[in-house]
Chains A and B, each alone.
Chain A
């Protein structure tokens, strides 16, 4: 079971996207756990649960560098969701993106 966790400031808008992504995952029988959290919980959740992929809402893109730096050693991909996909809540694209990141990351290991 892969864990894909989404973060934004309030954890509100990303949770909408999570729902869309889950729909797609179910349709394709993918065993993934997708969840959204407010950014303030990020540290605790990331260090405890070690998700396989972390996505940030585009509005908190300014946190990306800091996050990538901070969790470099944990070795999970951290990226920002494409704003276009975000704007139209394209769960399929975002899920694909996340899976691609996970695969690439595992290949590089």
Chain B
């Protein structure tokens, strides 16, 4: 039973036999007895699948696509320009030209398509023809004749005969009249591929056809008429291989970009498309590994789209074979299924991480069906540390089974280990509760890790995000179990780790010793390598997130800077130079803001080299750096060679300090005109309060001045350092840098960056709390929580049994006591929530009421006995003061809040 769509398709197919006009939706609807709009939407679907062509006009008529007419069964055909990948991007210009050529009255312009092999010239010509039909440049039944001039290239006679036809007896073997393809193409399109293989005589004969619309078959005297639109294509440089008299007659030249000129995004879409086609061909879904996608995106594909397509085909074929011969249900394409030149792509992955990772999310294994791709996350729950190893082991086995060279396995495992690690760390992004942690990890271990991190923090002068703590606890917990079971731990990255992070490795060894003595096991070097990775987590995560420095040229004058930037960009080709023009009449203030905006916009997280000419521009760098926290190095003697050098260096070197120093050495040797350039963007004072804002604009600075107005800066030798949170990794690195030399007391901002060991105060709190008590307390070393003046007022009506201002003091003491005992700071939320809760509770008890039942009692009793007895102990003060007794339910409520913090 055919569905409606198939019926519609069948009717269109029949219609071309009987009429040459195409068929409208209305006619089809009548024939199938369906609603016109239904027919129309089905036709549209078929059109989108590339099966039909749509001829503009009233009514719109539909006819078969050429491919379908020929009966070639492709699974998905590209029927028109708009369906082409890159139609609005890299191919936009080519398509516009093609459309212009076709629409030019009366019968279109002859066109020459240029481009190396495999870019899709033939397909492009076909699409031009389809476009011509759709726009009624040609009638529906007009011919499209394609001919590859290379076919008979070694026999010019035969080639010309084939093209123009011949008369019986024109030469030996010409035993009958023969029609050439020029005649066959009459009224349509003649597509000549590899036109450079056409001998000069042939080219001359084509001129005549182009000029007069006439041609002479071989051996004939009579000229014949043929009206054809010629589209030719060549891979060669036209000036060398074609007669100028020929090229002059072809008014339109369309160049199709090579694959490497097209964006990675488009290549990505192409890969998608080809896998989808293969899935349709095989008739099963295909799963594609991440590394496969990576290498396909990056390898040198000199044969362009065509080669990409056949390489993918080959890979799928291998995977198919593998799945058939091993009786596997799924077809899984691994990077090893591809030819070795494709594998080269993986080798350069490290240097193209940024762009590639934007397109391919880690671990997103893709699945393709004939209907298109769907992506899914690779199975495996990274929240449990055991899998960390299991995944690695699984992967190892998989690779070994494929008989790969040890060297290749190593390379792939290196990449994979970093990925597993990044994923592992990512799972902590949402945060984890200590409560949950202590369920899995035993407390002794938590203590060990805590003191180790504190130690490491000091020794490395580095701060660690909370996730390092959690991650490390869970990871070591898993390792210990593994080691106890005598399972192997293998770290393929060990060598690199030892080489790159020697210091961290040494420190990690200390932890391993502690674990060895505490748990009676031997910790292998490989495991120490993993621990080291936790200590270097910023660097590992940053490696991918980090951009390169950029160069900004800022000069007086209307276009001086931008034209210099243009020159540098076109010479170096790195496009990392931006110009800022400051017309003389522009006010310094405006210029400052504009330049700042430009830097914030363009900055990639690795800093900015600012090249300036004179005047106020010279100090902007320093000011902007202070405002935004972006690392900026100013060089105040800007010439084109210097800008060239900076641009070149910024591609290779990501450390802006190094570039700057080298530039100074090279350039400043002979200059005396040396303005003071900020050496470090580090603040001067010993104690630092960091203000953070997400927008990267004014609010961190506003916060700074607010804090400065409230806090005695001199007394505390304090500096408030504003910072933007535009780029989280950048911010971590910066805080890291500061903490190496300075003492960060607190972070104030809109978002809690969750940094281990540095207290955070929200902006809201700072503004709400008029005297900045909380902040001042932290500064003075007595970190207590603030009190809200209006707390007592807000609740005095509701809670009349107790004096709330006294309660507040009692409560603060209580919390302080708890915090001291569990050695942890309570979050603002818990602090406030519990404050209201306990006020109610006490008010209730004082009034003679009972505590509500705590339904979580069973969960808490027996598990948190330590906390329960602590709360019972500390709460005695309150009990005595109010002459009440907290029953076990009330205690459990409090404990539940405390353990969750």
Contact = CB atoms under 8 A, between A and B. Distances in A.
Contacts of B836: 13, 16-17, 57, 59, 86-87, 89
Interface string A61-73: 1100100000000
B794 interface: yes
Contacts of A87: 788, 791, 794, 832, 835-836
A89 B794 contact: yes
Given A40-B855, A86-B833, A9 B841 contact: no
Contact of A16 (B788, B795, B856): B795
Contacts of A60: 833, 897, 900
Contacts of A9: 837, 854, 856, 893, 896-897
Interface string A6-25: 00111111001101100000
Given A10-B852, A11-B852, A59 B829 contact: yes
Nearest to A57: B833
Nearest to B828: A83
B798 interface: yes
B321 to A, nearest CB: 42
Interface string B787-826: 0101101110011000000000000000000000000000
Q: Which of A16, A59, A80 has the most CB of B within 10 A?
A: A59
Contact of B833 (A8, A11, A19, A65): A8
B768 interface: yes
B430 interface: yes
Q: Which of A13, A20, A65 has the most CB of B within 10 A?
A: A13
B768 A57 contact: no
A58 to B, nearest CB: 4
B839 A13 contact: yes
Given A13-B839, A80-B829, A84-B768, A59 B854 contact: no
B765 interface: yes
A51 interface: no
Contacts of A80: 829
Interface in B876-901: 893, 896-897, 900-901
A88 interface: yes
Contacts of A17: 836
Dominant secondary structure of chain B at its interface with chain A: helix
A13 B833 contact: yes
Interface in A1-57: 8-13, 16-17, 19-20, 38, 40, 57
Given A11-B852, A60-B897, A62-B433, A86 B798 contact: no
Interface residue tally on A, bucketed by range:
20 to 34
Q: Which of A57, A65, A80, A82 has the most CB of B within 10 A?
A: A57
B570 to A, nearest CB: 46
Contact of B830 (A19, A38, A61, A65): A61
Contacts of B851: 10
Given A59-B834, A83-B829, A89-B794, A12 B896 contact: no
Contacts of A57: 833, 836-837
Given A83-B828, A88-B794, A38 B833 contact: no
A65 B430 CA distance: 9
Nearest to B430: A65
A46 to B, nearest CB: 16
Dominant secondary structure of chain A at its interface with chain B: helix
B840 interface: yes
B299 interface: no
Contact of A88 (B788, B799, B840): B788
A82 to B, nearest CB: 8
B844 interface: yes
Contacts of B893: 9-10
A7 B294 CA distance: 48
Contact of A12 (B790, B793, B828, B840): B840
Contacts of B844: 12
B831 A89 contact: no
A83 B791 contact: no
A8 B799 CA distance: 18
Given A84-B832, A88-B788, A90-B794, A13 B840 contact: yes
Contacts of B670: none
B673 interface: no
A11 B837 CA distance: 9
Interface in A84-102: 84, 86-90
B829 A61 contact: yes
B795 A89 contact: yes
Given A9-B896, A10-B893, A13-B840, A58 B833 contact: yes
Interface in B761-807: 764-765, 768, 788, 790-791, 793-795, 798-799
Contact of A58 (B788, B795, B832): B832
Nearest to B435: A62
Given A80-B829, A84-B764, A88-B788, A19 B798 contact: yes
A60 B896 CA distance: 9
A48 to B, nearest CB: 18
Given A20-B794, A58-B830, A84-B768, 16 more contacts: A8-B833, A9-B856, A9-B897, A10-B893, A12-B840, A12-B852, A40-B856, A59-B830, A59-B833, A59-B834, A59-B900, A61-B829, A61-B900, A82-B764, A84-B764, A89-B798
Interface of B: 430, 433, 435, 764-765, 768, 788, 790-791, 793-795, 798-799, 827-837, 839-841, 844, 851-852, 854-856, 893, 896-897, 900-901
17 contacts: A8-B833, A9-B896, A10-B851, A12-B840, A13-B833, A13-B836, A57-B833, A57-B836, A58-B833, A61-B829, A62-B900, A83-B828, A87-B788, A87-B835, A88-B794, A89-B798, A89-B836
Interface of A: 8-13, 16-17, 19-20, 38, 40, 57-62, 65, 80, 82-84, 86-90
